[in-house]
Amino acid sequence: MPKHQNLDLFSVIKNTQINTPVFLDKVSAGFPSPATDYMENKLDLNEYLIKHPAATFIVKANGSSMTSASIYSDDLLIVDRSIAPKNNNIVIASIFGDLTVKKLKK
């Protein structure tokens, strides 16, 4: 049986703000558009990315088995345990006590 790769765990620090500038103009995925210096707002990444702080943790990926899902070694993955997993979701699973990131196949 293959050895499963360990994941580094990080807890989410509550009541912190990470404000990042948000630009009004959208970024063109085709031909470039003129840039503007106007920023719309600041975006709190905790508020935007973490919907259920008490059920959320962050893991650092290790290995290359999930590159087909664009998950690479040292990527940080935000995990919300309050969301019920569905078929084909990317999940963090415990296998023989080791955490691993995989695509769920029911």
Phi/psi of residue 94, nearest 5 degrees: -100, 120
What does the block give as tokens for 45? 């990444």
pLDDT of residue 65: 93
Which H or E run includes 49? helix 45-49
Global confidence as pTM: 0.65
Catalytic residues: 65, 102
Q: Where are the domains of the chain?
A: 8-103
Greater pLDDT, 41 or 19 = 41
Categorize the per-residue pLDDT at 27 as very low, low, confident or very high, splitting at 50, 70 and 90.
Answer: low
Instruction: Select from 1.10.1060.10, 3.40.50.2300, 2.10.109.10, 2.60.40.10 the CATH code of 8-103.
Output: 2.10.109.10
- Reported as a single tens digit per residue, the pLDDT across 35-88 is 555 556 777 788 888 888 888 888 889 899 999 999 999 888 888 999 999 999
Pairwise CA distance, residues 7 & 45, whole Å: 23
